[in-house]
Amino acid sequence: MGPRIGPAGEGPQVPDKETKATMGTENTPGGKASPDPQDVRPSVFHNIKLFVLCHSLLQLAQLMISGYLKSSISTVEKRFGLSSQTSGLLVSFNEVGNTALIVFVSYFGSRVHRPRMIGYGAILVALAGLLMTLPHFISEPYRYDNTSPEDMPQDFKASLCLPTTSAPAAHSNGNCSSYTETRHLSVVGIMFVAQTLLGVGGVPIQPFGISYIDDFAHNSNSPLYLGILFAVTMMGPGLAFGLGSLMLRLYVDINQMPEGGISLTIKDPRWVGAWWLGFLIAAGSVALAAIPYFFFPKEMPKEKHELQFRRKVLAVTDSPARKDKDSPSKQSPGESTKKQDGLVQIAPNLTVIQFIKVFPRVLLQTLRHPIFLLVVLSQVCLSSMAAGMATFLPKFLERQFSITASYANLLIGCLSFPSVIVGIVVGGVLVKRLHLGPVGCGALCLLGMLLCLFFSLPLFFIGCPSHQIAGITHQTSAQPGPELFPSCMEVCSCPSDGFNPVCDPSTRVEYITPCHAGCSRQVVQDALDKSQVFYTNCSCVAEGNPVMAGSCDSTCSHLVVPFLLLVSLGSALACLTHTPSFMLILRGVKKEDKTLAVGIQFMFLRILAWMPSPVIHGSAIDTTCVHWALSCGRRAVCRYYNNDLLRNRFIGLQFFFKTGSVICFALVLAILRQQDKEARTKESRSSPAVAQQLLVSGPGKKPEDSRV
């Protein structure tokens, strides 16, 4: 009989002679060796170190393509007229396909060719990335003002104050038709389908890769390989935001620029960057990283030797106490076999129907562990905070501090994500160096979250005030109309949905178009590096001063750096809980249920955190909007927000989830201390009885001999 492949984490113990012979005959019945194993030369792909390298690069590229949408979320909203709630739902659809299939990974894990399944999943991820770019190619060129395509700058005359008799009636609603609405829905639908496929393709990549490494790596090398894998993988979101910073500096229609050029700069609020180009680059990276997986075998030789440098490090750092601690851990084959009777071990022997029937019962049994349930709930709170922050932090920084999308992504990629990596690493080092038990892990989690909560308080007070928008600020209605604006513009026929902001530098009042400022003339002043556009003859501006094109500059944009430093510090403190909370989960359930407990944990994180949190944060952001753009009579993208409300509700939502995590970890620590106290009481009661037995039996007899 050939070796039986166990589930994830239960590697096949293949004899060396048979393993070398099964390289080319892995699908033969029983997996038996060929007659002459000496003639079979191992391929370069029969090397677990190469697999670790390939899988690190693949997961890096996969997280880069998954996180890239978050870096360009505000740009996609502007390009296709989406609200924050809709864009949050779009991000959540990445988890829909993933959650629907992740439960069955443990069932199929030992029955399939894992490297090939990883390759197929990666190809699907690459195709989904290409599908995300399709809306750009099937849509009309982006027009940042509602004019017809003519051989002149788009906003030359469209936003000026024209007499009512000579002005066109409606600028955008006249272009509305059933075809336009259908095309808009189809474009948005394509992005939702692409996000779903992105999640489906990512299902086999991480679980199959981790179990494959654990199966065929040396037992001493497996933790090191997995640590390298996670370290490289965690750089993926940071690279995604760095890629977004570069791509959003390019104009969206870089492949089809208008003949007259564009008069926008990257600081213009109407600027839309080349969001689609990043998806092309990331999809190409995933496709290239998927190629080697079709050459890895279903089984490979178990790694024989421990890494040389690891042996040297252990020889220096290990203490005699570690040897004494490890010596009793050796178990006979019979004992280890008895401890592998859980659902995870028998799952491969079940049919799909049987697996579905038995899963709810085992799920309820696992949730009966109070430590497991509370730790998972605390991680749900932390993941909800992280999902909302990762999705909408770039947009929040753009709106709150009036910075460009490119600069916001650059700051997040350079500050926030490195702090997350540092927090996770420091948490793991503290658990190892301090030899923390369950109570110590619970205390570390609680301390990290309390400090995170403390450093979150100043964020409520670091921000910029709202811009003074003529006709919009201090108005109760969110839908601007002619009656909201001064009578000085009554002679003009201003488009209700136009957007070409101008700023009065003397009063720092902003107008949504030159028409709303009563301006009838445009002047372009050429400078050495760039040209500055002014609008003159403005009847609504004090003393008829000219106004500058573009939004008013913020007086407190410099506060974005200290704000993000505090956010990064809080993220690092929250990530201190990553390793100790995992240790609490692994020690809070039975040994045979550990693999299933981790799977249930990730399922709950996806269903309760990563799926709803972006929608919740997006809905909260939408409630702070004071001026919506209209597209064919429907509410589209938000043009202006109330900055104070935006800051209080976004940071307040984050504070709410952090508080929930603190409460859960406090309950965990209280339960652990109670359990520890009961265990010590039980030991103190039993120790006198044992000592009395030793005294009665005499020095040469065993305690059992005294029982007559």
Residue 426 has pLDDT above 80, yes or no: yes
Q: Which residues contact 568 (CB under 8 A, 6 or more apart)?
A: 415, 416, 418, 419
Task: Count the Cβ atoms, other than its own, within 10 Å of residue 609.
Answer: 22
Give the bridge partners for 635, in sequence order: 630
Range of lowest pLDDT (136-140, 447-451, 695-699)? 695-699
Cα separation, 469 vs 640, in Å, equals 9
Q: What is the mean pLDDT of residues 161-190?
A: 67
Using alpha carbons, list the distances in angstroms from residue 148 to 78, 497, 629, 630.
Answer: 19, 15, 19, 18
> What's the pLDDT at 170?
42
Residue 556 has pLDDT above 50, yes or no: yes
> What's the pLDDT at 642?
92
H or E element in which residue 510 lies: strand 509-511
Task: Count the Cβ atoms, other than its own, within 10 Å of residue 323.
Answer: 9
pLDDT digits (tens, 9 = 90+) for 66-83: 889 999 999 999 999 899
- Give 281's pLDDT tier (boundaries 50, 70, 90): very high
Range of lowest pLDDT (340-354, 433-447, 524-538)? 340-354
Closest CA to 228 of 8, 425, 466: 425
Cα of 92 vs its chain's centroid, Å: 10
> What's the pLDDT at 167?
46
Q: Which residue has the higher pLDDT, 4 or 496?
A: 496
Q: What is the mean pLDDT of residues 239-249?
A: 93
Task: Using the structure block, give the residue that is written with the tokens 């700058």.
Answer: 153
> What's the pLDDT at 241?
93
Residue 362 has pLDDT above 70, yes or no: no
pLDDT digits (tens, 9 = 90+) for 618-629: 999 999 999 888
Residue 191 has pLDDT above 90, yes or no: yes
Using alpha carbons, list the distances in angstroms from residue 268 to 94, 430, 503, 625.
Answer: 31, 47, 12, 19
> What's the pLDDT at 324?
43
- Give 36's pLDDT tier (boundaries 50, 70, 90): very low
Q: Which residue has the higher pLDDT, 36 or 126?
A: 126
- Give 9's pLDDT tier (boundaries 50, 70, 90): very low
Q: What is the mean pLDDT of residues 387-401?
A: 93
Residue 277 has pLDDT above 90, yes or no: yes
> What's the pLDDT at 287?
95
Measured over the CA atoms of residue 107, residue 110, residue 113 and residue 119, the dihedral's sign is positive
Supply 267's token pair.
């600081």
Name the percent of the chain lying above pLDDT 70: 72
- Give 143's pLDDT tier (boundaries 50, 70, 90): confident
Q: Which residue has the higher pLDDT, 437 or 650?
A: 650
> What's the pLDDT at 151?
36
Range of lowest pLDDT (9-18, 79-88, 294-303, 636-645)? 9-18
Q: What is the mean pLDDT of residues 241-261?
A: 86
Q: Which residues contact 425 (CB under 8 A, 6 or more apart)?
A: 231
Q: Which residue has the higher pLDDT, 558 or 157?
A: 558
Name the percent of the chain lying above pLDDT 90: 33
> What's the pLDDT at 33?
44
Supply 293's token pair.
């997986």
Task: Count the Cβ atoms, other than its own, within 10 Å of residue 76.
Answer: 22
> What's the pLDDT at 479?
45
- Give 527's pLDDT tier (boundaries 50, 70, 90): low
CA dihedral 473, 478, 479, 485 (to 10 degrees): -20
pLDDT digits (tens, 9 = 90+) for 305-343: 666 554 554 454 444 444 444 444 344 444 433 444 444
Q: Which residue has the higher pLDDT, 361 or 397?
A: 397
> What's the pLDDT at 28?
42
- Give 584's pLDDT tier (boundaries 50, 70, 90): confident
Q: Which residue has the higher pLDDT, 27 or 385?
A: 385
Collapse the DSSP code of 628 into the 3-class scheme (helix H, G, I; strand E, B; otherwise coil) and give the result. Answer: strand
Cα separation, 614 vs 610, in Å, equals 7
Buried b (16+ CB within 10 A) or exposed e, 202-224: bbbbbbbbbbbbbbbbbeebbeb
> What's the pLDDT at 150?
42
> What's the pLDDT at 175?
58
Residue 165 has pLDDT above 90, yes or no: no
pLDDT digits (tens, 9 = 90+) for 587-609: 766 666 666 777 778 778 888 99
Collapse the DSSP code of 34 into the 3-class scheme (helix H, G, I; strand E, B; otherwise coil) and give the result. Answer: coil
> What's the pLDDT at 31?
43
State how beta strands 468-469 and 509-511 pair: parallel
Cα separation, 435 vs 116, in Å, equals 40
Q: What is the mean pLDDT of residues 18-24?
A: 42
Helices (H), 83-177: 84-102, 105-108, 114-138
> What's the pLDDT at 452?
95
Cα separation, 576 vs 598, in Å, equals 19
